[in-house]
Chain A
Amino acid sequence: MLVAIAGNPNTGKSTIFNELTGAHQHIGNWPGVTVEKKEGEMSFEGERIRVVDLPGTYSLTAYSLEERIARNFIIEEKPDVIIDVIDSSNLERNLYLLTELMELSDRIVVALNMFDEAKRKYKIDVNKMSQLLGIPVIPTVATRGFGISDLQKVIVKGEFKIKKFEYPSDVEERIKKIENEIEEMGLKNARWHAIKLIENDVDVISKFRNEKKILHLAEHMRHEIEDIYGGDIETLMTSFRYSFAHGLFHEVAERINVGGVTITDMIDYVVAHKIFGIPIFLAVMYLAFNFVFLVAAPFQDIIDFAFNGKDVAGGHINGLIDISYMWMSSFLPQWASSLINYGILRGLAAVLTFTPIIMLLFLVLSILEDSGYLARVAFLMDRITRKMGLEGRGIIPLMLGFGCNVPAVMATRALKNEKERKLSMALNPLVPCGARIQVFAFITSIFFTNNQALVLWSLLILSMIVVFVMGFIYSRTIFKGEGEPFVMELPPYRVPTLKGITVHMWEKSEGFLRKAGTIIVGAATIIWFLAALPWGVKYGSPQSYIGQIAFLIAPAGKYLGLTPQAIIALIFGFFAKEVVIDVLFVLYGTKGAIAIAMTPLQAYSFLLFILFYTPCVATLATIYEEAKSLKFVTFVVLEGLLLAIVFSFAAYTIGLALGVGT
């Protein structure tokens, strides 16, 4: 048995899905797109039922990706039951989707979610609603698990004698004519297809492009209806459905109080205030940011210590990797032991150290999203981010990028539009993350002792300008949107539930660990091979393969002012940017040696290169996981390299010409 969950966004659809399926779920993407697909299994009295969570939509037109996914799923997979999750405190608009679903299926269960919240606003007659519609209507409060068992029961045992709503008779008789023609073709969902043909739905029209007769009939009918009622067909048909929703709403619900000021009104009054709005946004971002990166620190440090040990005054404390290396060396050849421990296990440790940040980040993001503040961020920042081709929520991944690009790329999920998500992922690596800023601080402290702050600021501001300009260019060329409108609902503020947050947090972190983790460990192993071979050389030295590669491209590097040692450091930096410092130390020995190895101009060019070049492997793995496209990952790599080369070359050449810092 197959069950699909449909509903508007922000109705608690995914909470219902989680409650129904428990731990038996699988999260992936819908084929070919970055829209998340959740699938799970529930069992009821021995029957196994597959449950699919459809994307949240307001209607089922052909103009948005989510809506197409949802309706194609219903048409092609023909779920046995559709659960329509409705936000009961916002009945009228939610009932509109129901009218569309009713045209596609007879077996619909209505879940009146957030029933407790609605009770403060309306008196809802559930039985009457069920009678009027002829389908089961179950009040639920998914966050507290209320009504879930009833829901499970009616999915299997419910009675469905659906009373389809009817358009006015002039319209009905015309629908019927087309419906008859389609039935002769032997197509399922004849009525739905007929209605969509009249409505001039682009997808359905192209499906019937060979049936000239039917298309012609539909067009004729469409014009007749437009003439009778006056107005365009989409407005008319939507109005008919909405007036049904409106009528039903007034039949079953009675408003309790009118005109009171709600908490949401009060908070919005301040949070979207002309003067205070943006400062409050900055304060919230600062708090969230601080919380994530400072609270993650002890967890990261303990993981790092446990695996890698630590250098102390009296020598080195062995970590798990060192211990296991010594143990394995007793029965394995040294190279194998080194590969397993310093290649694979070290990669694993790198993945694990990312986990606390990712868990905390998604903790904060789900609080922001579930509470409703994220929608306000979109509202506040839209004017700025729009210039970069992003909606307002796009500011959040960009700000998070200053901490770490990995969670920032994952945070692009907040963006609903496919094009905007990709654009946001392409821009994110250009934001210097914490690790890169650490490298900047170190290198500037060596070369620019007198004006360290100035150099640091120049890099940060340059990156902001580049992000903005690239966003501006991309959004008008490669990632040009189809002009999907930015019509956003502002849900009322709600206190997020602990359960909702933890489930969300766990889902994301688990996904990262399992999928991106594998790629990172793989990359760590490759790096090990390159740095340790040919056998017998010092790890990462100029004689190793990495060193040889670096010397091979050194002639080209000269134009950018990069020394071979700097190139080795950059190649290692691909694994994790902060490693650049360690490698420079290993290759040059002391701080003083680094200081005389490069001129300040070369150092600045080196900094510029680090600022833009290829993001670290963890970021790339995450981008691959999110976009599921190697082409896109290659694009990001090339974009970074190209920008790095352009800026380093420009800075170095201009610097030489002017004789600055040589």
Chain B
Amino acid sequence: MKLSDLKAGETGVVKNVLGSGAIHTRLLSMGILPGAVIRVVRTSPLGDPVIYEIRGFFISLRKKEAEYVEVDKIVPLHLVPPGSDVHVVLVDGGVGFIRNLNSMGISIGKKIKVVERCCPMRIRTDLGEFTIGMGMAYRIYVR
């Protein structure tokens, strides 16, 4: 799916950046690279440029330019309704954070179940039931 197909508030992980020349290199050098998490923040009142958040900063792209970016839609864990089973796609954080999550059985590809949403969030993994803070849940992306 294309980046331009995501709606405000949705998140995607970049699969591929198409195009060539100026637009291709510009998108890449802004950090829109395969594997990067990109969130649609808001659409302009007139409908066209859209603000995206990537790597902690905000950029605006015209629809035409966003069409060059192929993404997979993902959902941050804190938006997952309770009772649903999901797969972890991506963990956004440093080495320590990833290690911490590993010890709870949360790593890429693993299946987890959201028991209770708020607050704190309770989840069940292969290793048992854990509570995690909302701050952590923001940075775990699932499908």
Question: Which A residues contact B (CB, under 8 angstroms)?
Answer: 58-59, 61, 63-64, 90, 92-93, 96, 231, 234-235, 238-239, 242, 250, 254-255, 257-259, 268-269, 272-275, 277-278, 375, 378-384, 386, 392, 482-490
Contacts and interface: CB of A to CB of B under 8 A. Distances in A.
Contacts of A63: 21-22, 25-26
Given A61-B29, A278-B45, A235 B22 contact: no
Nearest to B42: A272
Contacts of B27: 485, 487
Interface stretch (B55-63, B80-88, B99-107, B108-116): B55-63
Interface string B91-104: 00111000000000
B40 to A, nearest CB: 13
B9 interface: no
Interface string B19-56: 00111111111110111000001101111110100011
Contacts of A381: 46
9 contacts: A58-B30, A235-B17, A238-B29, A259-B138, A272-B45, A277-B45, A382-B46, A386-B48, A487-B30
A524 B57 CA distance: 51
A234 B44 CA distance: 30
Given A382-B44, A486-B62, A59 B25 contact: yes
Given A93-B31, A250-B93, A382-B49, 9 more contacts: A58-B30, A63-B25, A92-B55, A239-B35, A250-B95, A258-B135, A382-B60, A486-B60, A487-B59
A380 B49 CA distance: 8
Nearest to A265: B41
Contact of B29 (A58, A383, A484): A58
Contacts of B60: 375, 378-379, 382, 486-488, 490
A234 B22 CA distance: 11
B65 interface: yes
B139 interface: yes
B42 A235 contact: no
B79 interface: no
Nearest to A488: B60
Nearest to B36: A242
A379 B135 CA distance: 30
Contacts of A383: 44, 46-49
A401 to B, nearest CB: 22
A490 B59 contact: yes
Contacts of B1: none
B51 A272 contact: yes
A64 B31 contact: no
B70 to A, nearest CB: 12
Given A272-B45, A274-B45, A277-B45, A90 B135 contact: no
Contact of B33 (A238, A258, A375): A238
A486 B30 CA distance: 12
B118 interface: no
Interface of B: 16-17, 21-31, 33-35, 41-42, 44-49, 51, 55-62, 65, 93-95, 134-135, 138-139
- The B interface, classified by DSSP as helix, strand, loop or mixed, is mixed
Nearest to A253: B94
B61 to A, nearest CB: 6
A382 B62 CA distance: 9
Contact of B22 (A58, A64, A254, A379): A64
Most interface-central of B21, B45, B62, B94 (chain A CB within 10 A): B45
B33 A382 contact: no
Nearest to B62: A486
A96 B31 contact: yes
Contact of A93 (B16, B34, B57, B62): B57
Nearest to A100: B29
A164 B71 CA distance: 32
A1 B66 CA distance: 44
Nearest to B139: A258
B46 A239 contact: no
Nearest to B55: A92
B44 A379 contact: yes
Contacts of B22: 63-64, 482-485
Contacts of A238: 25, 28-29, 33
Nearest to A57: B29
Contacts of B61: 486-487
A238 B31 CA distance: 8
Contact of B42 (A64, A268, A378): A268
B23 to A, nearest CB: 4
Nearest to B47: A383
Contacts of A268: 41-42, 51, 58
B65 to A, nearest CB: 5
A250 B41 CA distance: 24
B57 A234 contact: no
B45 A275 contact: yes
A272 B45 CA distance: 7
Contact of A239 (B34, B48, B93, B94): B34
A268 B34 CA distance: 28
Contact of B94 (A254, A259, A386, A482): A254
A479 to B, nearest CB: 17
Contacts of B16: 231, 235
A275 to B, nearest CB: 7
A383 B45 CA distance: 10
Contact of A379 (B31, B51, B138): B51
B46 to A, nearest CB: 4
Contacts of B35: 239
A381 B44 CA distance: 9
List the 8 closest pairs (A to B, CB-CB), nearest first.
Answer: A59-B29, A250-B94, A63-B22, A383-B46, A238-B28, A490-B58, A277-B45, A485-B23
Nearest to B17: A235
Contacts of B17: 235
Contacts of B33: 235, 238-239, 242
A206 to B, nearest CB: 14
